Amino acid sequence: MNANDRDWDRRLAQLKQLDSALVQHYQDQPGDTARELAALRAASAIERDARRARAPEGRARSCRTRVANCILTRLTTPDIRGGSRRAREARAWKRLNMAAHTAPKRYARRVRRAQVWGRILTVGFAAVGVLGIATGIGFLVAWAFSGGEDTSAGTEALAPLIIATMPAVIFHVGSVIARLAADQERRPADQALAAITRSVDVLLGRKERT
Amino acid sequence: MVRRSLTRSMSLDQIEALFDRTYTECKKHVEAVIAPLAGPNADVDALRQETFERFYRMLLNDEVKDVNPKGLLGLLRQIASGKAIDAFRATARRPVDTVDELPDASAWDTVAKIHGPEVAYEHAETLRAINRLSPELRETLLLREYLGFSREVTAEILGIKRASVSANVRRAKERLRKQTAEPELPHLSLEGGTA
């Protein structure tokens, strides 16, 4: 190519030729259309299932995209990637396995973290509760030993009891709300992941479609 | 959802049949759109899949008005170019060298077979030079010159004004000319020669 050939208007006008040649190129490498369509259907089904299971939008999309891309890479013949066919297959399997295993592990880690925090809070509230109850009982015993004459001790005994029961009540209500929230959080994610795993299994022929 | 399915102009079987037919016929065209636009680091398979997923959702939601093959191909080219541009912008943010021609190097064999090796080399050089432009200029130039979209469609895909499209194309061409301008040869004087 000499300097005179660098005529950009001509070059850009000719660029449309590239489109027809690329169409021809991809026509010569048709791949496995039936399997690609199956992967597309699976991807749509995964997305639908995840939405139906009310999984948060971003999470559903990232799960679906990652797994569906891996399915597609696994199912189609990735002729355009570098390396031998065997190396490409190995890479595709690795990606698929990573996607199938890391997502549930990540959710498990989140749930575990929540459980640890829950336990710390439980122990804290329980300690406060026990301390309060012990103080209340101490005042009650003092009141009983005074023969019930010391009315001020009786009134003083009720206040710590109320104070002692308050943390316990707060703890109980809090734990119920936390458990409900955790269930709400976990259930859609579990359902979405189950749907994804099912689709992957069906596509890879590990399980029959039921 | 119920209302949408009741008012849908096609049944689910019809939609699936249309989708299968369109996929088989238009797959290669979609890939040919994605390959130069998305840059050398793109995953053409994944982008093609995303394009058809979007198309499938549009069919289900009854958003596709023109169901003749030409209209569908036009729609798919638009969706694919949008997806490819998003992918290019995402990879352009990462510190990788995007100055290359196509994600599929073997495509040049076909180009060379069809148009001859010199033209294939020239196209590769052209694309490499286009990839050196800034994302805005590159995308506008490829949409207008490679895909042949109108100013309106290009502006719609890129989310810019129509006037900016023309300005970007003009600027891109100027940059390309400047990039490849040959330095002038030093003037040789022939003083002292014999008459």
In this structure, the number of other CB atoms found within 10 A of the CB of residue A12 comes to 20
User: Per residue, what are the HEC states of B110-171?
Assistant: HHHHHHCHHHHHHHHHHHHHHHCCCHHHHHHHHHHHHCCCCHHHHHHHHCCCHHHHHHHHHH
How many CB atoms neighbour CB A92 within 10 A?
Answer: 20
**In chain A, how many domains are there?**
1
Residues of chain B with C-beta less than 8 angstroms from the C-beta of A36: 23, 27, 49
pLDDT value at residue B137: 93
Q: What is the dihedral sign for C-alpha A118, A121, A127, A131?
A: negative
Residues in B 114-133 with any Cβ partner in A closer than 8 A = 114-115, 119, 121-123, 125-127
pLDDT of residue A78: 41
Q: What is the rounded average pLDDT for all residues in chain B?
A: 83
- Closest chain A residue to the Cα of B111, Cα to Cα: A21
Q: Is position A17 within any domain?
A: no
In a domain, A73, yes or no: yes
Judged against a pLDDT cut of 70, whether residue B124 lies above it is answered with: yes
Q: Do B141 and A1 touch (CB under 8 A)?
A: no
Residue A164: give the domain boundaries: 31-203
pLDDT digits (tens, 9 = 90+) for B20-75: 999 999 999 999 999 999 887 777 887 888 899 889 888 888 888 888 888 899 99
Radius of gyration of chain B measured on its C-alpha atoms: 22
Q: Which residues of A touch B106 (CB under 8 A)?
A: 25, 79-80
**How would you class A179 by CB atoms within 10 Å of its CB: exposed for 0-12, middle for 13-18, buried for 19 or more?**
exposed
Q: Do the domain assignments include residue A193?
A: yes
A40 and B146 within 8 Å at the Cβ level: the answer is no
Residue at A9 is within a domain = no
Asked if B142 contacts B36 with a C-beta cutoff of 8 angstroms, the reply is yes
A6 domain residue, yes or no: no
Is residue A20 a part of any domain in this protein?
no
Residues 6+ apart with CB under 8 A from A76: A31, A32, A35, A36, A39, B45
Q: Tell me if A8 is assigned to some domain.
A: no
Do the domain assignments include residue A7?
A: no
pLDDT digits (tens, 9 = 90+) for A15-34: 888 998 999 998 888 777 87
Residue with tokens 């990839």: B131
Q: What is the pLDDT of residues A28-76, one digit of tens each?
A: 887 778 777 877 776 676 666 555 555 555 555 555 555 555 555 544 4
Residue B75: per-residue pLDDT: 93
A127 or B118, greater pLDDT? B118
